Amino acid sequence: MEETLSTRLNEILIKFTPYFVRQKLIKREESLGEEIFYDFVGEDGLIDLLDNECDSLEVERSDIIYRLLTEEQKKIFGGLFSQSSQDTRSIEEQCEELNFLEKKVLGDRIVRAFKENVQPFLTSEKNVVLVSRLANLLYEGFSEEEKKQTNQRSITTYILSLGFIRNTRASHRQACDFIIEYPPLFKGEEEVLDAIVGRYIDEELTHTPINKTDLRIKELKEELNKIYYLVRSNES
């Protein structure tokens, strides 16, 4: 039960982060009550999980949530659920970081390409894995001064909180092109590769005239060999 609760809480906190920071800026208050979190969550199943745990342990919701927070999360959200915890960063510092991420991430070419061409084919778990790698890639491209304004964890959280909309028109061809351009992101992700290239092969052969099938199969083999070689050559 606790593992399920912790997983669901983390998923919600990823989406809650930018909302929480904005509310602190708008209201100009150093502290907000836990109600802001419950209002954001609404009727989500997390509430039922929390209440079941509350009944079992005879404690308050806030006690359970605070216990499940990581040390990093306590620095940001601890004040909502524990009177003794205070956010170590000021409102201005948090908002400066959010504005910086909006400027550096929202318009980034790699992020847009990932969002449009790869993310629609990923499970939630694989999305987190690849977004974490993408965040590291972006962070390494920052100047030393820019690196002082954020970190890889914040970038990961921010990208995940963008609420990517699954694009049903996403092209497996474009997904393959993205893999070729950024192979390190897919290191060790054989299942993701197999799923994307498998669908790509099906699509291509479906639209290939019968008299050209043999030739297209040969071309596809060469393309796929290149993809797998690039990814595996980045594995340690």
The answer to which of 130-139, 145-154, 200-209 has the lowest mean pLDDT is 200-209
Neighbour count for residue 71 (Cβ, 10 Å)? 7
CB pairs under 8 A, 24+ apart, for 194-198?
A: 195/121, 196/118, 196/121, 196/172, 197/172, 197/224, 197/227
Top-confidence range, 9-23, 67-81, 176-190, 205-219: 176-190
Contact 97, 150 (CB under 8 A): yes
What CA–CA distance (Å, rounded) separates 34 from 114? 34
Number of C-alpha atoms within 13 angstroms, CB side, residue 95? 11
What CA–CA distance (Å, rounded) separates 223 from 219? 6
Q: Which residue has the tokens 């977004």?
A: 131
Contact 100, 149 (CB under 8 A): yes
Calculate the alpha carbon distances from 176 to 49, 55, 181, 218 in Å: 40, 50, 9, 17
Instruction: Please give the pLDDT value at position 168.
Output: 43
Query: How do residues 145-182 score in pLDDT, each as one tens digit?
Result: 988 888 887 888 778 766 543 444 457 888 888 888 88
Instruction: Please give the pLDDT value at position 169.
Output: 47
Residues of the chain with pLDDT > 70: what percent?
A: 79
Average pLDDT, the chain: 76
Query: How do residues 20-65 score in pLDDT, each as one tens digit?
Result: 766 665 554 455 677 888 888 777 777 777 777 777 766 677 777 8
**Once rounded to an integer, what is the mean pLDDT over residues 123-152?**
86
